[in-house]
Structure 1
Amino acid sequence: KDDEEKLVKLILQQANGFDGLDKVVENFRREQLPDIIFEKLIRKGLTRLDGASTSARANAAVVFAACQAHGAGQLQHATTNPEVSERIRLAGLFGNDELRWQDIEVLDLEDLQMTLIRKGLLTLDGASTSARADAAIVFAACQMHGGGQLEHATNPEVRERISLALRRGNRFCDDKLRWQDLEVIDLEDLKLGQIFRLGVRTLAEDITQLRQNTKLSLALAGEGLGAKGCKTLFEAMAQLKQITDLSLDLKSNKLGFEGGQAVFEAIAQLKQITDLSLNLGDNDLGADGCQAVSEGIAQLKQITKLSLTLEDNGLGDESGQAVFEAIAQLKQITDLSLNLGDNHLGADGCQAVSEGIAQLKQITKLNLNLKRNGLGADGCQAVSEGIAQLKQITKLSLTLEDNNLGDESGQAVFEAIAQLKQITDLSLNLKRNNLGFEGGIAVSEGIAQLKQITDLNLNLAFNDLSADGGRAVSEGIAQLKQITDLSLTLEGNDLSDKGGQAVFEAIAQLKQITTLSLDLADNDLSADGGRAVSEGIAQLKQITTLSLNLADQDLSDSDDGMRPLHS
């Protein structure tokens, strides 16, 4: 075989090329020719595909090169499918010797291995596996009919993505989607439509035009990027050396560990960023992927504002520690939003959270979401102790929904918050935590200490407070004389008429309040309770914006559900 290949190389130097090979070696089978040799022969015009070998037929690059050089008539020899071959032959009989769309349309290239399509200067090296499978069709459609034909020119999995991009019209791209568009975008993993939202035709052009920009926002949630698409995206973004404000939504993209690694490698290069919003929720990062992302973020020493969503990524307790160890290195940060919901952190993970939070002494605004993490009383105690260390904080949003905290934990949370003397804006979600009446008492005592609060959003839905618990909570809220904006959710707490009346009696004492959102749905209020509510509302003379939810109750003619009032 080696001798035969050497012979081929010698023959290629002859003017008559392939014909010379026939004369020199009578029994030499063309199937034994290396594909690259056969392709060179075709490109030189030294041979046609009439006697194409099996290996040549299997090489779609060779097939396409021959078609470009010698016309559609050669396609009948370019497939191993006899039915397709005959259709192509007939098509060639009824047209000129040019490669026509009809010829390509009937050619079945699904079973051919397309590794390269090239005619001079065009290549598909960077295209996806799916694109390569139909690359001859894609390329022919693009060259002959412009971008509009591409939605019909590839396999069904890719077709809709291209169609979405093209529907956006000339505002985003001209009528011809150029070959570079296919070359730099992975059609298998990335919807072209999302790239076109930036207002230019290709990702490469986007990066070129955005290099001087300082602010970028991309919404790519649920676009199926996968690890490969994520890597492509971040490799491009790593070139944006001037970016200081970046918002990127990659929720539900199946990134996995490899995607997390790609995020880390790119983010670590964007050292000039001061404001970062990154949503990686529901991406199966796992502990290792989360570790990688955290290490990348730790490199951003200039950052002052960070919003990071790692919800539903299977982090576990150790990853929670990794996140906060990374954030603790960001000494300039003052505004932090961190969503670690649905990550099975448990009590141990929350101990790590507590220790991490305690290091963020400079924080003035904190939004922390730990819902559905199995904290229990111990985990809640740990988190509360960490938050109590943030003496500079003025705005706090804390979500501990559905963590089975129990009555004592409610007290721990408020005892911690009561130590934050600078806080004026508080949002606290304790929904579904089995607080009960005792928990309501603890909430009341804690709230009463927050004298400086002006804006309060408190969600105690589905906590079995009962009428007495509801009354206790109300009495605590009545102590907040400075409050101007109150959102209170007591849905599903069996308050009954007595509890409902107590709520309004308390709110009536808040003379500074102008905005009120009150949810008392599903609380067994009767017509009498409805009247009490009505009488309570009548006393709120200073209210300018009211939203009231009394749904799922037997209020007779008072049952209006959610009623927003504006004046």
Structure 2
Amino acid sequence: MTDGQERVRLRAREGEAVEWTRRAAQRAGTLKDMMDDAPTEDGVYPVPMIAAAELAVLREMCEADSMPARLEQCSISELFRLVEGAGFLDAPGALNHAQRALASRLNGKCADELRELLGATDDFDSAENRVAALAEPAFSPGGAAFSSHEDAKEVALGMVDVGTLAELKGVSQSWLALARRVLCSRLSRCEGLPAPTQLAEITDLNIKVLVDAGRLWEAAAAGRMLPSLARLRWEGFEVSVAAVRAVDLDERDEDEDEDEDERPCLLGGPAKTALLSCIEGEGEPPLELLLAAVACAGSGEIRGIPVQMMRDDSVSELNLQERNISVEGGMLLAYLVPVMGALTRVDIRRNSISGDGAAQLSAAVLGNLKIEMFNEIPIKEMRADSFTELDLNGKDFGVEGVMVVAGLIPVMGALTEHGDYTSEGINAIADALRVNGGLTSIDLSRSQLCGIWTDDDGDQYGTYTAEGITAIADALRVNGGLTKISLAKNKLGEEGTKAICEALEQNKTLKELDISGGTYGNINIGCTAGAKHVAKMLGVNSALTSVEFRGNKLGDKGWGAIFAAICGNKDSKIMSMDASSENIGPVGVKLIAEALRTSVTGGLTSINMSNNYLTHSGTDMTGIKELAAALGVNCSLTKIE
């Protein structure tokens, strides 16, 4: 037997002897010291703090290089005891395994789920106190630990993520105190010093941990709440808070004209140089750290954004229209908006916020429940689901506004929505449609769904992309509540039309579809090329009752195919068809007549073919005669114009 395989015996709390290999025992500092000092008289080393069953598991944990599968079968309380045992034995490998197993059970759960998992009791005095505990900054101190058992629990949470630790605060008052200690230590403890026990003791803040956890707003909260804060830390970088307060971050180049349409980015030129002078470290600091520094300690106004006023929460209405705020500005606003408890109305329209700036800002707005109006979007009423129709036409509320609307759609029961959207906004709307079963009506007409549009003179702008319309189509495959949608005047093209029609071939809930075009060449579905996809869909769809196609230059063959599809579908529910003013000639009316003559559907009762060229001014009567003959055998039509 090798030295590593030699057996040593440990006496557990109950007096029972548990055998370990010497190799495993040497991985536990406490046992190694015992064995190095001197052998015991009976050859058994006392471990009075640990039960025999736990010693057996700890033995396996010390032997294993990766987390033993056995830990997956342990209860939460057993994992906490194993952490305590690993700490007593000074066994870092075993401790790592136990922390990792515990984190895998807890991470990602909300306060209610954690309370049930931990077997805790909600002992908050009121729901308001519980909500306040969940809403407080992660850096809020929790006081000193009361016992070695509590210290062991603190160690046990070493791998639990920041978001889950914040949720632990809402479990019970004892877990609130523990989570505070763990978080404050992780975020604010200086090397060689105890963790702060009150806000005034916090001098350092690890801002990277907060940003990684999605808690951007805590940078601004720290600037307001921590009077002794001196440094923001980020792997390899250190920001002097006092220096940031002192520099002018709104400084501009001498030749820069404030009235020009194009301004430099938020942190560019002299402003960035000034900010970098406040930061120690090698290389280029990450943008998130720069923004956190500004949100935490920036003075006055920066590129049109009143940073200090927002951080101080001194306004209830914020109008930042037309200030040339771009992506970085949107990101900075996302750091500031959540700490504004008095803010009820925000208007940031007519800026250039997109990408990460729009995504982060919209999330910040949705997270601030005090805001009632954002970019003229009545979000208070939308949260309360007090609308059946919502007209946002002409509001020009930007990408960030569309994302806010998309975030609210899942909580609304019925909504007609109208506005101009970018591809980012459309994808957000599509994501919301996938999960909203109560939304019954949405108007996406004239929304540049495919990235191109036509002005009043017929000039076309933009670059075609089917990304947005394909996202909408995918959403229609799974949405079970929508009964009406308008995609009119969007220049869908053949690709976009095909995507929508394929989604609707099996859709059983949508009743009304508008894919009409418009004047000045604003063709929507790609003329006859798109018409074939529409016809294919109408030939199998059994839910639609109303479809609008006009303004698409479908031509004789296109309209003939549409009528043939409807009339050839015995399950069709379409009751009327408007083909007026569509330049349908004798060839087209013959195709329509044949479809009506052989119709197997009883749903179509009314058609409008006025203002067409059915006879070419009386020079060709063959088509109209065939239409008259078809009407003689069609028993369903009751009205024709």
**Which TM-score band applies after superposition, normalised by the shorter structure?**
0.3 to 0.5
TM-score by length of 2: 0.42
Q: TM-score, normalised by structure 1?
A: 0.47
